[in-house]
Amino acid sequence: MSILHIKDLHLGFKTLTGHVDVLHGIDLDIAAGEKVALVGESGSGKSVTARIVLGLLQETRTARISGTVQFDGQDINAMSARDRAGLRGTEMSMIFQDPTSALNPMFTIGNQFTEVLRRRDPKLSKAASHARATTLLDEVAIPDPARVLGAYPFQLSGGMNQRVMIAMALANTPKLLLADEPGTALDVSVQAQTLTLIRDLVEQNGTSVLFISHNLGVVREFADRVYVIYRGNIVEDGPTDALFANPQHAYTRALMSAVPRITGAGLPEVPEVSDDFLAPRISHGGAL
């Protein structure tokens, strides 16, 4: 059974001057334990898709959302705001692009960890949460967990904060992890370590992942299956090997030729816009 099933998802925003359409009918599926990447340039609609899955955009009054988003068999769009919030931090969680700015500067790591753990177990004592957080930080290979728990985010390095965030995201053993360009704000070697760490942990826990990236090189290392998104449409999808071996869509090819082979930060620059980019979707199969 699929953990995430998105069918014909549309998103538009009401603006001062009228209406802007951002997603034009997205279909996307993630099976249990599967690592799926959604690849595209900034502004292609990949980040808003993640925020719809989390149920965050549904709270924005200017957003108009239609279509089906089923998480673990439940329709997210049909739920009450309260029920959606109930899933966040427990059944699904998210890793952000810049770990240092995504952690609150006014609270210690320990305090923020306790908040996260109490999402699953509201009555968790301070001492118990501290013990559990220590174990979790140990799992992400943080050398001195006690010191880190007492520290503020600005006292830790970016790589250290990244590990903390990964530990937080997986602390409540969610069914689905959303990763929005994890580590892009960090340098290349740290980014590579981050990805390895995430992969090991999700494989160990059987967590499904929706991995959002603009970087095909990174995606190739990480994902089982890939969706390529261009201007709010999925243009090509399929198992990673099949798609990389034989890219069919003009946009996918342009994206690949623009990407350096090694992992790296920075946006790929697709040289020029072609009408072929708007050609219909090509699927290599492989989804449930």
Partner 1 sequence: MSGILRLLLNRLGISLIVLVGVSMLIFAIARIIPGDPARIALGPNANAEQIASLRAEMHLDASLPVQYGHFVADVLRGDLGMSLYTNRPVTQDIAQFLPATLELVFLAGFIMVAFGLPLGILAARHRGRWQDHLVRVIALLTVSAPGFVWAVILMLLFAFYLPLFPIAGRISDIYDIERTTGFLTIDTLLVGNWAAFGSAVHHLILPAIALSLSGIGQAARLTRANMVETYEKPYIEMAQAYGFFPSRIARSYAFKPSLIPSLTIIGLDFAAMLGNAFLVEAVFAWPGLSRYGVAVILRKDLNAIMGTVLIIAITFLIVNIIVDLMIAFLNPRIRYSTRGAS
**CB-nearer residue toward partner 1: 62 or 246:** 62
Q: How far is the CB of 56 from partner 1 (least distance, A)?
A: 6
The DSSP element (H or E) to which 26 belongs, if any, is strand 19-31
Task: Kindly report the backbone phi and psi dihedral angles of residue 103, in degrees, each rounded to the nearest multiple of 5, phi listed first.
Answer: -100, 140
Using an 8 Å Cβ cutoff, are 69 and 75 in contact?
A: yes
Residue 105 Cβ vs partner 1, minimum distance, rounded to whole Å: 6
Q: How far is the CB of 96 from partner 1 (least distance, A)?
A: 6
* Among the listed residues 88, 132, 253, 281, the single contact to partner 1 using CB under 8 A: 88
Give the dihedral sign, CA 242/247/252/257. positive
Q: 56 vs 258, which CB is nearer to partner 1?
A: 56
Q: How far does CA 275 lie from the centroid of its chain?
A: 29
Q: How far apart are CA 136 and CA 134, in angstroms?
A: 5
**First-last CA distance in the chain:** 8
CB 174 within 8 A of CB 143: no
User: Which of 2, 44, 49, 93 is in the footprint of partner 1 by CB under 8 A?
Assistant: 93
CB 287 within 8 A of CB 29: yes
Q: How far is the CB of 250 from partner 1 (least distance, A)?
A: 34
Minimum distance, C-beta of residue 59 to partner 1, in the bound complex (Å):
8
Per CB under 8 A, does 13 bind partner 1?
no
Q: Is 116 in the site for partner 1 (CB under 8 A)?
A: yes
The amino acid present at 190, given as its one-letter code, is V
Among 32, 56, 256, 282, binds partner 1 (CB under 8 A): 56
Q: Quick one: which of 77, 101, 205, 283 contacts partner 1 (CB under 8 A)?
A: 101
Q: Which two tokens stand for residue 93?
A: 């969680």
The yes or no reply on residue 149 touching partner 1 (CB under 8 A) is no
For partner 1 (CB under 8 A), the number of binding residues is: 29
Q: Inter-axis angle of helices 126-139 and 158-171, to 10 degrees?
A: 120
Q: Which stretch binds partner 1 (CB under 8 A): 10-18, 32-40, 81-89, 200-208?
A: 81-89
Binding site for partner 1 (CB under 8 A): 54, 56, 61, 85-90, 93-94, 96-98, 101-107, 115-116, 119, 152, 154-155, 168, 178
